[in-house]
Structure 1
Amino acid sequence: MSSKEKFIEHVAKGYQSKGDYIYMGAGMLEGKVFSEAAVKIPLKTMNRHGLIAGATGTGKSKTLQILAENLSDKGVPVMLMDVKGDLSGIAKASNGAEFIDERHAKLEFAFEPKSSPVEILSLSDQKGVRLRATVSEFGPILLARILELTSTQTGILAIIFKYCDDNHLPLLDLKDLKKIIQYATGDGKVEFEKDYGRISKASTGAILRKVVALEQQGADLFFGEKSFEVKDLQRKTSEGKGMINILRLTDIQDRPTLFSTFMLSLLAEIYSTFPEKGDSDKPELVMFIDEAHLIFNEASNALLDQIENIVKLIRSKGVGIYFVTQNPTDVPEGVLGQLGLKVQHALRAFTAKDRKAIKLAAENYPLSDFYDTKNVLTTLGIGEALISALDEKGRPSPLVATYLRAPMSRMDVLTNKELQDLIDDSPLVEKYNEEIDRESAYEILNEKIEVADKEEAREKAKEDRKKVSKGSSRKSTRQNPIIKVLTSATFIRGVMGIMNKLLK
């Protein structure tokens, strides 16, 4: 058997699929493309998470696009975190190009331009369906991890949440949270000490400063109503296609804490609300996190632990999470070890640090009889990648240098008009874009303080009147003896004067 035949058999054995699958492309060996060596990812393993890595300009976004549009075609809803703003073109069919035709001719795979159903989401003031969550939905433990609170501060935050629950004070946005923190050691100090114990003003001050720091990153836009319901990420079209939800994050790169806050909230909400799925034929939802280093670089150890735990557990809910970044080392080892599908585009070796990173990246992939992984990583072209996946039984598939197919949708961004038309047609805009500011902890506590202040003012005025009244009474009492004395003395002097005259 020739090396070509051995290679084709090797790939076919590792990537054959009895069920539904996503066709990624064909295997490459010694610079040649073998269309018979089809690389197919079983649909049922797409909830096993994954990684798309590679240097800038090597085709990561296009690989993401291939996976997203194919998942949608299979009836799987998708959520894309679009940090660079270059994924909206998936809503329109490809215009085609000569290089695409040439690529698909090598693959012997028909190119059929088509669009995918898209929903545009936003965390900030950008156009799209607004995503929000209330402070109460976060809860004290999750919020404490985001704020990087100490154990003492976390305990105080838990007491504050308990007080709000006991007194029916809705914690909806950050102004509610700041108000109750101030109230705990201010106007409500006595009330808190009576029912919950003494709370240190220094601790509440430290918590408040961290809340303000989070607010400065734009979290005030995220916290509030109306809360986004994660079930709306699972919508499908009447034809059965899964909706591709694109979250625009082009203004979020300098606000990593807000991004981490949102991601942790979303994953926690999905985990708590989605039912257990077990081993199903396809995922319930697949999420792609572009520029994943934005989550991990600025995250605290507590936050990293939380993300790692959720990644481990959320698979049972039928949810797959895919991290898109430049280098596998951007992803913590605890998370990297959970990823079943790895698509590695080229890495560049310009410095000693780059060469070290390439060596580490190569060690993340299984050994191969056909490739020197470390060298292949630096010689891959645009639209080529090393792929390692799981078969339908969860076993690692062989490493294959793959000549990737092209996306069937446009590989550029929508125009402003196209984007606006897409948003105008959305049924979710009316549901979520109305700003609601109902009565919550901020208003209730302000009213309570105002009533207490008025009552205190009335009591003070009452006391002042009593003091004035008592003062007048004492003044009258002090004057009477004097008047008597003066009257008596005057009378005596008068009598004595008369007597002196008579004696004369």
Structure 2
Amino acid sequence: MNYEKLGAFYLGKRYDLAEREVTDELYLYDSKDLTTHALCVGMTGSGKTGLCLSLIEEAAIDHVPVIAIDPKGDLGNLMLTFPDLKADDFRPWVDERAALNKGRTADQAAADAAKLWKQGLAAWDQTPERIAKFKESAEVSIYTPGSNAGIPLTVLKSFSAPAQEVIDDAETFRERVSSSTSGLLSLLGIKADPVRSREHILLSNILDTSWRAGTDLSIGGLIHAIQEPPFEKVGVLDLETFYPLKDRTELAMTVNNLLASPTFAGWMEGEPLDVQSLMFTSEGQPRISILSIAHLSEDERMFFVTILLGEILSWTRSQAGTSSLRAILYMDEVYGFFPPVANPPSKQPMLTLLKQARAYGLGCVLATQNPVDLDYKGLSNIGTWFLGRLQTERDKARVLEGLEGASTQAGTTFDRAEMEATLAALGGRVFLANNVHEDKPVIFQTRWALSYLRGPLTRRQIETLMADQKAEAIATADEEHSPEELKSDEAGAKPVVPKQIRQYVLPVRGEISGVIVYRPALLGRARMHFARVSYGVDVTRDIAMLVPIRNSVPVHVWDETLSIDPAELGDIVNALPDASFSEPAPALLRPKSYETWEKKLKDHLYRSERVIVLKSKSPKLYSEADETEGAFRARLSHLLREERDLEKEKLRNTYARKANTINGRLESARAAVDRERDQANRATMSAAMSFGSTILGALFGRKLASRSNVTKATSSMKSVGRAADQRADIGEAQKKVERYEAELQELDAELRAELEAIEEEFDPNAIEFEELTVKPKKTDIECVPVALVWTPWVRDADGMVEPAFDSE
């Protein structure tokens, strides 16, 4: 299909509201317009879900990642894609009860669904190959925070410090601190005023202080910080006056009870919330991440959405500015999260995204069937409104209010009476698109979805859909330490270690169901500098590695190591008082040994540590230091999209000039014709101008969607011929008209060839990489004295032990 080459979203076909029929003219939405965000409003049965899922499908085909918040559980339908359109593919997903109510068996219903989808796609100029293209373009994953039905996702393990760009922006940083605090308190069931609540003020100050210092707070660290905050005053009052220790301990216990509650155990499991990982796979393939929250309570939903929006805001501010669409944040059924009067924790970060995200290429798409429950002042930042059938006059009044505000914000005119009449006439799957980038609104009917829209998914169905991805994640995850038998020397008291030897202890992680035994390990730390001007490399890397020691220290001590976070290291006095200790190897008790190991550490780092840089051949660019291939490919994919958009603009300009030249010559030919043939002359000019606009209209003009599509050029050429036949007695003019027809045909061929070339040139899947390395200089390696670390292991009743500390 020609529309595939235009970098536009095929959402449907123009609809003639007066005749109540769909036309042949495609409705193509320019993806760049989505950077000014979109709102989709429509009552149940309006086709809102089909339109929004089609928009997500188009984004995936164009290699644009999507994070989709799913409160109802039906966005998982995006995984129900069957290129072969066989009844057997549909069979597991049909609603058997609904089929029985219609007097059909499940097998018959599956056959009906397969036939319906085959016919529906064909009617909307789509082939089964397009389903396959959608599946190949992006990975669809369902995440279930607080549940293991899909991929578990945790936000309770830590409150990560935002990017430095966010911290440096005073207003954005204050909003991030406030919304994170409000989200946590809502999860605790505490309705706190940010100005008057002691709980809110205390937690806000803790997050503010920690994040400004670049410190991530674990949930356990937060509990500790509540009891012993990293400051002595709040405002002008000392801490004890503002919030006495007894009251702070009570708040800490409330957070701890939440952490210890079996109800919230699922919140501590799963992948950490990472926006980049939600948008791209490790190989750089775009991802549609569906964050299903239908199973959560109202307070849990508010907490999760608030934290998620804060993380997305941080990610957004860390990106380079762009005018092209980089990613999409979609939220279905947004009511309750962005109300007109109330101020829930989710409202402020959402408003900030609507105001600021456009500069970084993030398009926010919000959908609801309850328009009266939206803050239309905030929605004045939205540039595109997809409006379907509305239920009440009150709904229409609120939508008109929002449209008027958006038009005022964009500096465009707004005809309220005409808009009201149009909204009243809309039917099923028929939408009005009011785009501030367009000259006027467009009425269209939504295309047939590539995905099978079977409705909300059950927990069991989500488990089935995600089984393969979860199994693959488990298979590729780091292998956990296998339990091993306890040795008899692991039941002693803490050994006496010379004071010249630095000692640390790692904290115990996870649920303890046995006795703790501390085993010795060597800690090596260093700061290394890597520089290579030609590759754009100038980085400093801090390294921390751990070598578990059993009976003796190996000769090549640093060859097999674990990675740890130095921030986790504690003083030896923090070792659990009732724990046992392994007997250390004799070399571990000799201070001279540590000097030798430090020299070996420096030699080891010099030989083994490298900074990896990837170089792409086209475009010729280098990756950031240690940027993964997936992340680099994702970044290049967006750069290519920017280049493609620029080339499209050049095409618009080039072909506009050519078309104007041809039409100018047609005017000259018309001037030579006898005045008595003036009516025929006008017919000729009208037809020629129609051809000129239709062939180029799918690419340029003010917008892709505001013109006819390429496939209409043939019928326009016929009208040119008919008009020319009327002028058979004007031989010279006829020859010129025929020549200009030929020139227009050549223009059409050139345009198609240009589009094909652009698609091939800017295909992100064709990027090739060369791997380059940067070595350090010995003088650029600064080692910290090697230390002894005691690592905790859990011993069960059978004498088996396994690690109880975090490492990689």
**Equivalent position of 1:77 in the other structure:** 65
1:302-321 to 2 correspondence within 5 Å? 303-321=346-364
Are the equivalent residues in 1 in contact too, given 2:151–2:466 (CA < 8 A)? no
**Equivalent position of 1:344 in the other structure:** 387
Q: 1:59 and 1:302 mapped to 2: Cα distance?
A: 30
**Equivalent position of 1:54 in the other structure:** 42
Return the match for 2:393 from 336, 355, 358: 355
**Equivalent position of 2:643 in the other structure:** none
Change (3 A) 1:402 1:241: farther
Which amino acid in structure 2 is aligned with residue 172 of structure 1? S
* Aligned-pair CA distance for 1:276: 3.4
- Pairwise CA RMSD: 4.7
Which amino acid in structure 1 is aligned with residue 290 of structure 2? I
* Aligned-pair CA distance for 1:51: 1.0
Q: 2:435 and 2:114 mapped to 1: Cα distance?
A: 30
Return the match for 2:275 from 205, 230, 249: 230
Which amino acid in structure 1 is aligned with residue 286 of structure 2? G
Moved more, 20-29 or 356-365: 356-365
Q: 1:212 and 1:422 mapped to 2: Cα distance?
A: 35
> With structure 1 as the length reference, what TM-score do the two structures score?
0.67
**Equivalent position of 2:159 in the other structure:** 136
1:321-336 to 2 correspondence within 5 Å? 321-336=364-379
Q: 1:364 and 1:334 mapped to 2: Cα distance?
A: 7
* Aligned-pair CA distance for 1:172: 1.4
Moved more, 96-105 or 380-389: 96-105
Q: 1:246 and 1:314 mapped to 2: Cα distance?
A: 20
Which amino acid in structure 2 is aligned with residue 358 of structure 1? K
* Aligned-pair CA distance for 1:406: 0.8
Are the equivalent residues in 2 in contact too, given 1:293–1:330 (CA < 8 A)? yes
Are the equivalent residues in 2 in contact too, given 1:19–1:43 (CA < 8 A)? no
Are the equivalent residues in 2 in contact too, given 1:22–1:40 (CA < 8 A)? yes
Change (3 A) 1:382 1:284: same
Q: 2:423 and 2:396 mapped to 1: Cα distance?
A: 7
Identical amino acids, percent of aligned pairs = 19
Are the equivalent residues in 1 in contact too, given 2:279–2:288 (CA < 8 A)? no
**Equivalent position of 1:88 in the other structure:** 76
1:246-325 to 2 correspondence within 5 Å? 246-252=290-296, 254-255=297-298, 257-274=299-316, 275-281=318-324, 283-297=325-339, 300=343, 303-325=346-368
Which amino acid in structure 1 is aligned with residue 330 of structure 2? F
* Aligned-pair CA distance for 1:100: 5.4
Unaligned runs of 5+ in 2: 86-112, 162-175, 186-191, 408-412, 481-506, 511-564, 578-808
Change (3 A) 1:236 1:140: closer
* Aligned-pair CA distance for 1:272: 2.3
Change (3 A) 1:422 1:383: farther
**Equivalent position of 2:432 in the other structure:** 386
**SS at 2:154 equivalent:** coil
Return the match for 1:399 from 441, 444, 447: 441
Change (3 A) 1:225 1:442: farther
2:39 aligned with 1:25: no
* Aligned-pair CA distance for 1:102: 6.3
1:441-460 to 2 correspondence within 5 Å? none
Q: 1:334 and 1:259 mapped to 2: Cα distance?
A: 24
Which amino acid in structure 2 is aligned with residue 22 of structure 1? F
Q: 1:433 and 1:361 mapped to 2: Cα distance?
A: 54
Which amino acid in structure 1 is aligned with residue 222 of structure 2? L
Which amino acid in structure 2 is aligned with residue 110 of structure 1? Q
Are the equivalent residues in 1 in contact too, given 2:232–2:238 (CA < 8 A)? no
Q: 1:372 and 1:56 mapped to 2: Cα distance?
A: 24
Report which of the two structures shows the higher radius of gyration computed on alpha carbons.
1
Which amino acid in structure 1 is aligned with residue 509 of structure 2? R
* Aligned-pair CA distance for 1:149: 4.6
Unaligned runs of 5+ in 1: 1-15, 349-353, 452-504
> With structure 2 as the length reference, what TM-score do the two structures score?
0.44
1:446-485 to 2 correspondence within 5 Å? none
Q: 2:45 and 2:29 mapped to 1: Cα distance?
A: 24
Are the equivalent residues in 2 in contact too, given 1:74–1:242 (CA < 8 A)? no
Q: 2:327 and 2:12 mapped to 1: Cα distance?
A: 23
**SS at 2:330 equivalent:** strand
* Aligned-pair CA distance for 1:405: 0.4
* Aligned-pair CA distance for 1:92: 3.2
* Aligned-pair CA distance for 1:209: 8.6
Q: 2:22 and 2:32 mapped to 1: Cα distance?
A: 26
Q: 1:404 and 1:36 mapped to 2: Cα distance?
A: 13
* Aligned-pair CA distance for 1:61: 1.4
* Aligned-pair CA distance for 1:73: 0.6
**SS at 1:204 equivalent:** helix
Are the equivalent residues in 1 in contact too, given 2:153–2:269 (CA < 8 A)? no
2:165 aligned with 1:177: no
Q: 1:328 and 1:136 mapped to 2: Cα distance?
A: 33
Q: 2:265 and 2:576 mapped to 1: Cα distance?
A: 25
1:170-213 alpha-carbon deviations (Å, 9 max, x no partner): 7312x5534543x349xx99999xx9742523763785598589
Return the match for 2:146 from 99, 124, 145: 124
Are the equivalent residues in 1 in contact too, given 2:67–2:279 (CA < 8 A)? no
1:55-88 alpha-carbon deviations (Å, 9 max, x no partner): 1222221111101111101011112222222222
* Aligned-pair CA distance for 1:214: 7.8
Looking at secondary structure, tell me which structure has more strand per residue. Answer: 2
Are the equivalent residues in 2 in contact too, given 1:141–1:158 (CA < 8 A)? yes
Aligned residue pair count: 414
* Aligned-pair CA distance for 1:20: 1.6
Are the equivalent residues in 1 in contact too, given 2:76–2:462 (CA < 8 A)? no
